[in-house]
């Protein structure tokens, strides 16, 4: 086998391991769901007070977390988002204030805590989905 043929064969095999946009979207959505669960748990643990807040008319902050299979500009490029909604009241703004703080209110950085604590689980879930989609092996 000539070097050109060997390199062409190698390149063909490597290209099979690169996911297309639809496959990337499936992979990142799996990771987004793992992160969403962690963010929900931390948000509920730190900012869910049923005794003092009437949430009958508006969804609670922990219940307003959503995932999206698009980027920040709503373009399907294989990336996924997790965040708080603006439906009803602006939960994203409230989450930012609670996370970052403001004058007289120190932030507790629960979003960063969720991101940090879920990093390994997100990568493991995405790798498992990658293996399932592109390699055909089940972990």
Render pLDDT for 80-96 as a digit per residue (tens, 0 to 9). 999 998 877 888 898 99
Give the separation between CA 106 and CA 119, rounded to whole angstroms.
25
State the Cα–Cα distance between residues 89 and 59, nearest whole angstrom.
Answer: 9
CB 94 within 8 A of CB 40: no
Tokens 């969804």 correspond to 59
Return d(Cα 74, Cα 48) in angstroms, integer: 30
- Looking at the predicted structure, is the pLDDT value of residue 70 above 70? yes
pTM: 0.81
């Amino acid at each position: 086998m000539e070097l050109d043929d060997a390199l062409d064969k190698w390149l063909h095999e490597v290209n099979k391991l690169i996911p297309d946009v639809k496959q990337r979207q499936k992979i990142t959505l799996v990771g987004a769901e793992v992160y969403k669960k962690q963010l929900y748990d931390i948000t509920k643990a730190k900012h869910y007070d049923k005794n003092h807040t009437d949430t009958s008319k508006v969804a609670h902050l922990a219940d307003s977390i959503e995932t999206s299979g698009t980027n920040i500009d709503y373009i399907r490029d294989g990336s996924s988002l997790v965040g708080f909604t603006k439906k009803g009241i602006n939960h994203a703004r409230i989450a930012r204030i609670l996370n970052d703080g403001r004058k007289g209110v120190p932030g507790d950085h629960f979003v960063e805590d969720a991101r940090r604590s879920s990093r390994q689980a997100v990568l493991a879930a995405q790798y498992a989905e990658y293996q399932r989609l592109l390699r055909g092996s089940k972990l």
